[in-house]
Amino acid sequence: MLRNALGKTLRFLGYTVQYGCIAHCAFEYLGGIVVCSGPSMEPTIQNSDVVFSENLSRHFYCIRKGDIVIVKSPNDPKSNICKRVIGLEGDKVCTSNPSDFLKSHNYVPKGHVWLEGDNLRNSTDSRCYGPVPYGLIRGRICFKIWPLNDFGFLRASPNGHRFLDD
């Protein structure tokens, strides 16, 4: 009777460990569900929206200009930020604010990306902390799950003028 209970418990633990490992690998290498907070990506992503992010693009280095990515914060490794990629390495980006009188431009250094929130007036991004190393990118947001009235693929950037053509 006791041996039966012990056997069942060990089997249960075994399954838990197995599923735990598979879940960890899935979240690390495939993707996962993310709850976003903050106003910096409005109107594309609102506070408390739930999105799905995939991690394959960053492993295969096919993050593209215009993608929305989840990035480890450059100043706080424990928190994540969600922004749009405005420029990849070698691209020319406008480093000044839209309200500045004199515009300044620069090229994104090797191994880095330039990030900006869609809500330019209320976003701390690369205009504040500079280009972000590619290695900090954790995943690419491809799909919004919640709220249901906004379910589906994410819109393109409302700030097309920030993407400078080569």
Residues known to be catalytic: 40, 83
Residue 77 binds another protein (CB under 8 A): yes
- Please identify, using beta-carbon distances, which residue of 73 and 96 lies nearer to another protein: 73
Torsion region of 130: left, alpha or beta (phi above 0 gives left; psi -120 to 50 gives alpha):
left
Residue span binding another protein (CB under 8 A) among the ranges 46-54, 74-82, 100-108, 151-159:
74-82
Residues with Cβ within 8 Å of 66's Cβ and at least 6 positions away in sequence, in order, are 84, 85, 156, 157, 163
- x/- mask, another protein, residues 46-65, rule CB under 8 A, reads ---------------x----
By CB under 8 A, the count of residues binding another protein is: 15
- Please identify, using beta-carbon distances, which residue of 68 and 81 lies nearer to another protein: 81
- Please identify, using beta-carbon distances, which residue of 111 and 147 lies nearer to another protein: 111
Cα–Cα nearest to 35, from 52, 20, 18, 21? 52
Helix boundaries (H) for the chain: 2-25, 56-59, 126-129
| Candidate list 74, 106, 120, 145; residue touching another protein; CB under 8 A | 74
Please, are residues 36 and 53 in contact by the beta-carbon 8 Å criterion? no
SS3 102: coil
Task: Name residues contacting another protein, limited to 84-143 (CB under 8 A).
Answer: 109-112, 133-136
- Alpha-carbon separation of residue 83 from 19, 67, 71, 124 (angstroms): 32, 9, 8, 10
**Nearest distance in Å: CB 61, another protein:** 7
Binding positions for another protein, rule: CB under 8 A: 61, 72-77, 109-112, 133-136
